[in-house]
Amino acid sequence: MVRVSDFFKEERDPLIIRGVEKENRSFTKAPLAENKFNVEDIARLVDVSVEFVKEIQKEMNA
């Protein structure tokens, strides 16, 4: 059985994702600096992975 949601799943290449995330570094730092949003919301807002946001958060706290 094929689900409708299967048609909307987007295959994303991890290397492309990392390249996009590097470009989104400054967009990720701005909401983190505000300290008003949680990590999941920022990841959704900037369209990056939660792991990437946590990585940036560690860099900022170091």
pLDDT for 3 equals 52
Domain positions in the chain: 11-61
pLDDT for 37 equals 80
Instruction: Please state, in angstroms and rounded to a whole number, the distance separating the CA atoms of residues 7 and 9.
Output: 6
pLDDT for 1 equals 46
What is the full per-residue pLDDT of the chain (62 aa) written as tens digits? 445 444 444 555 554 455 555 666 777 777 778 777 888 887 887 777 888 888 888 888 87
CA atoms within 13 A of residue 56's CA, in its CB half-sphere: 24
